Amino acid sequence: MAHRTLVVAKMNPEDTEAVAKIWAESDATELPYMVGVSRRTLFRFHGLYFQLVEAEQDITENLYRARSHPLYQDIHTKLARFMTPYDPDWREPKDAMAEAFYTWTPNR
C-alpha cells in the first residue's frame, strides 16, 4: 500500500495551467526522486488547491531534507506567486498537510 500525503492551499482557479506547468517542470528534475514521490495528482475546488502525493513510504523526512536544495527552493518560489497557505499561521510544510482520519480498503 502506498503512503499518501494531501497538501492543501488557496489558489485562484485561473492559475491552474500555470501551477500545473510549474509542477511538470519540477517533476522532470531529480526532486521527486529525492523526496520519494511516485505519483502526484493536483486538484482544485472553489479556490482551494489540493496536491495528493503518493509514495512507497512517508515523505516527510525526505521533504524536510530537500528544503535546502536549490530545486526545492526554485519550485517553492515559483508556486508562491500563485498560492497562499490555507492556514494563515503556516510555518512549514507539515502545516499544509491534511490529517487522514479514516481509511477503508476491501477485504479481498
Task: Show the domains of the chain with their CATH numbers.
Answer: 3-93 (3.30.70.1090)
Q: What is the mean pLDDT of residues 38-46?
A: 97
Q: What is the mean pLDDT of residues 90-97?
A: 91
Report d(CA 11, CA 86) in Å as an integer. Answer: 9
Residue 50 and residue 8 in contact, taking contact as beta carbons nearer than 8 Å:
yes
Residue 37 is classified by DSSP as E
Residue 79 and residue 64 in contact, taking contact as beta carbons nearer than 8 Å:
no
33: enclosing H helix or E strand = helix 31-35
Please give the mean pLDDT across all residues of the chain: 94
% of the chain residues with pLDDT over 70: 99
Report d(CA 10, CA 85) in Å as an integer. Answer: 6
Which of 22-26, 43-47, 85-89 comes out lowest in average pLDDT? 85-89
pLDDT at residue 104, as a whole number: 86
Report d(CA 86, CA 56) in Å as an integer. Answer: 27
Strands 37-45 and 48-55, bridge-based pairing: antiparallel
pLDDT at residue 1, as a whole number: 56
Considering the entire predicted model, what is its pTM?
0.90
